[in-house]
Amino acid sequence: MLISRQPWMDQSLCRNENLEIFFPNRYTENNVAKPFSVCKNCPVKVQCLQYSYATDSIGIWGGTTEYQRNVILVNYFKKNRKKLTLSDARQIIDN
């Protein structure tokens, strides 16, 4: 997967991590613990999540796996019947 560098990425907490941990072959408790802990307090978690939706990214983005992002989208659309906005993404992450 080719990642298009974004300005907000310079503020991410993962910028100094081995990025391979965010792209595990399988999602197990052991494989996601470290990336989830990095994402938990990241100041650009919302932008990261939005980027993952915009680019249909695989791996852990904004503290979520692909499966979790799909569940969020399905539930969001069922409830709101509209596209996910940056403001909506912030509310989802904060909850």
pLDDT score at 94: 61
pLDDT at 92: 66
pLDDT at residue number 5: 84
pLDDT tens, residue order, the chain (95 aa): 567 789 999 999 999 999 999 999 999 999 999 999 999 999 999 999 989 988 888 999 999 999 999 888 887 777 777 666 667 766 666 65
The angle formed by the CA atoms of residues 32, 37 and 42, to the nearest 5 degrees, is 125
Cβ-contact 49, 61 below 8 angstroms = yes
Alpha helix ranges (H) inside the chain: 29-40, 45-55, 66-80, 86-94
User: Distance (Å, rounded) from C-alpha 19 to C-alpha 24?
Assistant: 10
pTM: 0.79
CA distances from 20 to 6, 34, 70, 72 (A): 18, 11, 22, 24
